[in-house]
Structure 1
Amino acid sequence: MFRRAAAFLVLAWLFGFLWFAIALPGPLGDRETDAVIVLTGSKGRIEHALEVLEQGKAERLLVSGVDPEVKPGEFAAQFGVSQRMLECCVTLGYQAYDTRSNAIEAAAWVTEKKAKSVRLVTADWHMRRAVLELSHALPNDVKLERDAVPSRPSFGALFLEYHKLLARFALNLWDRYA
């Protein structure tokens, strides 16, 4: 009996990991939202979020997890953002240092801005856990759209992120039923 249960768990873990690694989320497309939230990290995330904003697919942008040493002018220069765009539409979030604190920072910003639909921009391999964290923190009436930036994650990055996702899922279950 123990062997069968152990074999089942190993197979469930293996097939879960294969699904996680092969079926990575993709870009959202042309759908419009009230706001965009981008989580800092791998290359292409901020550039994609700014492109969404410039194309008018959203009215405002939160860049969550900005290094406290980065000044708005430096950010604008690095990413080619006009002063007008920076002042009207871009918020640099300096409070977050991990995915969970990204969700807390983003939820506070969404509530303040009264956004009802949000496009989340992050790397494809990071999207599932980011959505889990953010959907846990956001008000229930906010629609969350996934806009994954395609990447080429290493096996190690996928392996680690899969286990982080499992751990967060387990913690959510524990919080719900404990």
Structure 2
Amino acid sequence: MILRILALLALAYALGFAAYSVALGKPAPADSRETQAIVVLTGGSGRIEQAVERLEQGKASRLLIAGTDPSVREVDLAERLGGKEKLLECCITLGSESVDTRSNAEEAKAWLEAEGFDEVRLVTSDWHMRRAAFEFRRALGEDTYIVYDAVDTDPGFRTLFVEYNKYVLRRLGLLLGI
């Protein structure tokens, strides 16, 4: 009986991983709703660039870069973005309070509340979007409108496997009250 239960759990895990791997986050449609703000999570290539592009397209009026290393300065970001100093001055906030996805959501929540925003576009990598969306929905609640805008990547097996396990463990931890 125990062997059957373990086999069933292994099968559920494998099927879950397969479903996770083929149903990665997608970029928001071009005609997606505009929001008051954008929050981009650091840690993956193309994320900041896509968020700034959405800001320039008028998809939102403000941008929080959550999880910025405290040593990063606005001048460093201006150099990376190639002459977009005006956006930095008016519209981009560097957030360095968070160190992981859960604290990214908490940092974003505090910033959104301080700014009086209840609509946000979340930008992160396609392979990271499911866990980020889960954490943001938990932190922000149902009253905040969220547009999910994933950055297309080509993740390898290891990236997907690690991220799937983080997602599953986080869900299990909450289920068990940890």
Instruction: Find the residue that maps to 2:176 and give its secondary structure.
Output: helix
Q: Which residue of 2 aligns with 1:40?
A: 42
- Structure 1, unaligned stretches of length 5 or more? none
Q: Which residue of 1 aligns with 2:28?
A: 28
Q: Which residue of 1 aligns with 2:175?
A: 173
Q: Which residue of 1 aligns with 2:10?
A: 10
Instruction: Find the residue that maps to 1:125 and give its secondary structure.
Output: coil
Greater mean alpha carbon deviation, residues 134-143 or residues 59-68: 134-143
Instruction: Find the residue that maps to 2:121 and give its secondary structure.
Output: strand
Instruction: Find the residue that maps to 2:161 and give its secondary structure.
Output: helix
CA distance in 2, matches of 1:174, 1:111: 30
Offset of residue 88 of structure 1: 1.4
Deviations 1:88-139 (A, max 9, x none): 1110001111111111111101111121211110001111111111111114
- Structure 2, unaligned stretches of length 5 or more? none
Offset of residue 67 of structure 1: 1.2
Q: How does the TM-score come out when normalised to structure 1?
A: 0.93
Offset of residue 140 of structure 1: 3.4
Instruction: Find the residue that maps to 1:56 and give its secondary structure.
Output: coil
Conservation of the 8 A alpha-carbon contact between 1:111 and 1:139: no
Which amino acid is 2:94 matched to?
L
Q: Which residue of 2 aligns with 1:67?
A: 69
Q: Determine what percentage of the aligned residue pairs are the same residue.
A: 48
In angstroms, what is the RMSD of aligned CA positions? 1.4
Runs ≥4 residues deviating over 3 A: none
Q: How many residues align?
A: 176
Q: Which residue of 1 aligns with 2:136?
A: 134
Instruction: Find the residue that maps to 1:76 and give its secondary structure.
Output: helix
Equivalent runs, 1:108-119 vs 2, <5 Å: 108-119=110-121
Which amino acid is 1:49 matched to?
A
